[in-house]
Amino acid sequence: MRAVDIIADKRDGKELTGEELGFLIGGYTAGQIPDYQISAWAMAVFFRGMTSAETAALTRVMLGSGAVIDLSGIPGPFIDKHSTGGVGDKTSLILAPLAAALGIRDPMMSGRALGHTGGTLDKLESIPGFRTNLSVGEFRSILAKDGFAMTGQTREVVPADRLLYALRDVTGTVESIPLITASILAKKAAEGAEGLVFDVKYGSGAFMKEASQGEKLARSLADTGAAMGRRIIALLTGMDEPLGNMVGNFLEVEESLDCLEGAGVRGRPGPEDLMEVTLELGARMAVLGGKAKDAAGGRALCEDCIAGGRPRELFLRNVKSQGGDPVKLLELRGNWRSPVGAEIRVPPGAGESAKNGVSGAPLYIRRIDAWKVGNAAVALGVGRNRTEDPVSPTAGIQFHRKRGAPVKAGDPVMTVWSATEEGLAAALPRLEAAVEYGAEPPSPQKLVLKEITAGPAAAGPDASTGPAEGGR
């Protein structure tokens, strides 16, 4: 076989065999096929797509590029959730300890910032000392002890995704349904989860801009996951506006801690949009884990559990288990920020055309475009332009007002922190352009649009082997 022939076949729209995909991905992982050939192949896949058989074969080949984590000897149920990527999306940081407190074990293998979207690993690593490059042995023992463990693709586990993910990020080949499906499912199959909840995002800040594309991705994940014997629930959720009030690595850790302390839950002040999505995902994790019989019951369970404080305790315990310093984290909370900062306020004359010259007419934020915010965040240092770029733990954006808020000229909309002066200069115009004002409030938006399920039936309540050690 020759890589060039396989690339040309995909370019011409042919279906590749598992053997061909194995040759290509195996050769790449072994360092025998260069980046430029895999980039060309990924671009051909981007334009030509893949059949469902090809997508499943690619997932299996990527999974087979490394070890599968053996969870035998650790009591389950093992349920994980994965997001297809968004801006301000920190639900994993809240859900993993929440699931653990419900008696579900969450073996979580996540990714880094990709394109304009943030990465769970980068957020966690902003906690001083926190390690996400766990060996398989460390992953197992932390999972057994804390009820969840959070790691990245390594040289041992799904090494093909570690390479391909970084390559796609810089070659314009992220937004491909089969490549996203294989990337996510290979990680999820390797970590040993039996049931998976997918948060499939659509909207300006997602890789899938339209709900119809998001639904296709959700179906691809559900069908491929079910073909691999996993129970799947996929929620299609909106990503037109950043989720929550913070975008940035340490800022998002702080916001997650706030939510673990009850912010935004049951009418308490806080990021309601973030907690709406988090609780809906948590509810499905509870259902798949056999802790609730339906989503409504699962949601109530999650809300009670947060109110009881156990998820926060488990989060801080896991910080310590993964090498981080929980005392330092709490000390830095609220005051660790990049030195270069600015505030964006409602400009004089904002929404003037919409007000039809009527001075004193009401003014609302109609939209904060997540795509523009995500790109500005990369300029600030939150994400990266090149694989090898470091990210800043303390750069980011805090929103003081979001979609639907009534405003007047001079009101603060966001505070911005940057790793560099140049970063701030590049980000500010993008952030100013991200906010749209108007004389009418925007119509209410449903954050969870659709639910798609697949795979063997979920277990009933209490069908699990009981609470995880470290659980309730």
Q: Which residues bind ligand URA (CB under 6 A)?
A: 84-85, 111, 114, 165, 179-180, 183-184
Closest to ligand URA by CB, 180 or 260: 180
Concerning whether 141 is annotated as a catalytic residue, the answer is no
Contact 397, 247 (CB under 8 A): yes
Of residues 10, 60, 81, 82, which has the active-site annotation?
Answer: 82
Residue 452 phi/psi, 5° resolution? -125, 130
Q: How far is the CB of 375 from ligand URA (least distance, A)?
A: 17
Q: Which is nearer to ligand URA, 85 or 471 (CB)?
A: 85
70 is catalytic: no
CB 152 within 8 A of CB 132: yes
219 is catalytic: no
Smallest gap from Cβ 84 to ligand URA, in A, equals 5
Residue 67: other Cβ atoms inside 10 A: 15
Between 120 and 398, whose beta carbon lies closer to ligand URA?
120
In the set 65, 83, 183, 338, the catalytic residue is 183
Of the residues 161, 169, 240, 369, which is catalytic? Answer: 161
CB 89 within 8 A of CB 83: yes
Of the residues 168, 291, 402, 430, only one is catalytic, namely 168
Q: Which distant-in-sequence residues (6+ apart) come within 8 Å of 156 by Cβ? A: 66, 67, 135, 136
Pairing of strands 79-83, 195-202: parallel
Q: Is 116 an annotated catalytic residue?
A: no
- The answer to whether residue 161 is catalytic is yes
Sign of torsion, CA 50 53 56 59? negative
Helix/strand number for the chain, H first, E second: 18, 13
Instruction: State which residue, 191 or 303, has the beta carbon closest to ligand URA.
Output: 191
Nearest residue to ligand URA on Cβ basis: 183
In single-letter form, the type of residue at position 273 comes to D
- What is the Cα Rg of the chain in Å? 22
Q: Nearest distance from residue 81's CB to ligand URA, in Å?
A: 12
Question: To the nearest whole angstrom, how small is the minimum distance from the Cβ of residue 201 to ligand URA?
Answer: 9
User: Please, what is the minimum distance in Å from the beta carbon of residue 114 to ligand URA?
Assistant: 6
Give 322-389 as a DSSP string.
TT--HHHHHHHTTT---SEEEEEEPPTTTTHHHHTT-TT--EEEEEE-HHHHHHHHHHHTSS-SSTT-
Nearer of residues 115 and 290 to ligand URA, judged by Cβ: 115
- Active-site residue set: 82, 161, 168, 183, 187
